[in-house]
Amino acid sequence: MALNPLVDSRDMRFVLYEMLETDKLSSYDAFATFDRDTYEATLDLAEKIAVERVYPANAEGDKIGAQYDPKTKEVTVPDSFKSAKAVFNEAGFTGLAHDPEWGGMGMPDVMYRAVLEYFFAANLSFTAYVTLAVGASNLVKNFAPEDQKKIYLEKMVSGVWGGTMCLTEPDAGSDVGALKTKAVKQKDGTYLITGQKIFITAGEDDLFENIIHPVLARIEGDPQGTKGISIFLVPKYHVKPDGTIGERNDVVCSGIEHKMGIKGSATCSLSFGDNGKCVGYLMGGERQGMKIMFQMMNEARLDVSVEALGVASSAYMHAVTYAKNRVQGMDPSKKGEGAKPVTIVKHPDVKRMLLDEVACRGDADAHPPCRLFD
């Protein structure tokens, strides 16, 4: 396979097949329909889309960024993100590891993580929207009532609807138990949500037709601290029983963060129930919010680790390419008049720095840095 500027595909396959033996998962009934050829085709398609569509959108994401309109309280993202997402959705990557019952492909999660490395390496800002949508859909799958699953899951798995993770508040960061967001139960079993959340990745954008917010809140009268927290499904737009979008829910974006990097990713402040009409639906049981949200938090930790791997991979691949093309200094192996200018990769200290970068990525022992000496 041709080399790309983002991820060493040969190294990825070494990890998947030689270390993790992913192709042997076909011995399990759940993955019996997949074989190595299927996985290879999936990786090839992910690489192609990442390099040709998602990577070019990265620069525009930082130059233009996510834009907030204080009048409409809406966020727009660069057009290149929208075209990249259309291709991403068409390929089915949002639902790669999801159950086919909801429109997913049902592949092993390890393949979803491998695909993510390509996309995080290509464009972290863009891919953050995707991972939040996947994480929120997994919460809905495991904890939402059956009638809610039928309404929301298929659209989330297909990537048409997005998602978030709403924990942090102005006075409740790492101390989540101090949150003030409140839920009041209504006669029809729904809840009215009031409160504010901050630092919400993908909290508002025009990439998705609807955004599903899993929101931590305390039901009126429940005890203080983390043991009194519940979790609610709060859609940006109400959804009718037939699955079509209805009126706007009472949740708005009050602003986005100004950042030094990943500017295409909207980090939002959200206000719930400013007009007393924000409707939410309980997921799981009452006072089970933290227990349930930990599923998404742990999944986010996996996502962040792949983010780091993808960004480090892209940095390394770009550094190697530059070092193999940048001519500067004389050949250190020759002296005197016979010495000629060489690419900087020929200099021992540059080679040492590149090897150090491989070691920092954590895979030096797993597989030699093949791009350096090819």
Q: For the domain that residue 128 is a member of, what is the CATH number? A: 1.10.540.10
Residue 142 belongs to some domain of the structure: no
Residue 297: CA count within 13 A, CB half-sphere = 13
Name the one residue in this structure whose structure tokens are 């620069």: 59
pLDDT for res 75: 98
Asked whether residue 55 falls in the same domain as residue 124, the answer is: yes
Mean pLDDT for 174-178 is 86
Looking at the structure, do residues 114 and 213 belong to the same domain, yes or no?
A: no
Give the CA dihedral 180, 138, 311, 60, nearest 10 degrees. -80
Closest to 126 in 3D by CA, of 230, 259, 262: 262
Q: What angle do CA 49, 53, 59 make, to 5 degrees?
A: 135
Q: State whether 254 and 352 are in the same domain.
A: no
- Segment 19-62, tens digit of pLDDT: 999 999 999 999 999 999 999 999 999 999 999 999 999 999 99
Distance CA(188)–CA(196), nearest Å, equals 24
**In a domain? residue 296:** no
Q: Do 250 and 193 belong to one domain?
A: yes
- For residue range 213-243, list pLDDT tens digits in order: 999 999 999 999 999 999 999 999 999 988 8
Same domain as 193, residue 251: yes
How many residues are recorded in the chain?
374
Establish if 1 belongs to a structural domain.
no
What is the token pair recorded at 266?
């909207």
Confidence of residue 362 (pLDDT cuts 50, 70, 90): low
Residues 171 and 221 in one domain: yes
Task: Give me the sign of the Cα torsion angle 239, 179, 299, 268.
Answer: positive
Residues 190 and 263 in one domain: yes
Return the amino acid letter for 109: D
Q: In this prediction, what percent of the chain has a pLDDT beyond 70? A: 95
> In the structure encoding, which two tokens stand for residue 73, read together?
């309280």
The DSSP line for 267-329 is: EEEEEE-TTS--EEEEESSTT-HHHHHHHHHHHHHHHHHHHHHHHHHHHHHHHHHHHHH-EEE
Domain assignment present for residue 299? The answer is no
Residue 301 in domain: no
pLDDT confidence of residue 361: 55
The residue out of 263, 289, 315 marking a domain boundary is 289
Residues 132 and 176 placed together within one structural domain of the fold: no
Burial of 151 (0-12, 13-18, 19+ CB in 10 A): buried
Residue type, 249: N
Q: Which two tokens stand for residue 271?
A: 């206000």
pLDDT at 156: 97
Predicted confidence band at 338 (pLDDT cuts at 50, 70, 90)? Answer: confident
Residues 198 and 117 placed together within one structural domain of the fold = no
pLDDT of 111 over the 60 cut = yes
Give the total number of structural domains in the chain: 3
- For residue 332, name the pLDDT band (cuts at 50, 70, 90): confident
Quote the CA–CA distance of 196 and 166 in Å, as a whole number. Answer: 9
Which residues are paired to 270 by β-bridges?
197, 253
Q: Domain range for residue 239?
A: 162-289
Residue 295 lies in a domain: no
Q: For residue 254, which phi and psi values (nearest 5 degrees)?
A: -100, 0
Half-sphere exposure of 237 (CA within 13 A, CB side): 18
Residue 89 and residue 193 in one domain: no
Task: Show the tokens assigned to 146.
Answer: 């059956």
Tell me, what's the pLDDT at 2? 41
Tell me: do 129 and 188 sit in the same domain. no
- Say if 233 falls within a structural domain: yes
Helices vs strands, H then E, count in the chain: 10, 14
Per-residue pLDDT tens for 266-283?
A: 999 999 999 999 999 999
Residues 167 and 55 placed together within one structural domain of the fold: no
Q: What is the CATH number of the domain that holds 204?
A: 2.40.110.20
The answer to the question of residue 113 being in a domain is: yes
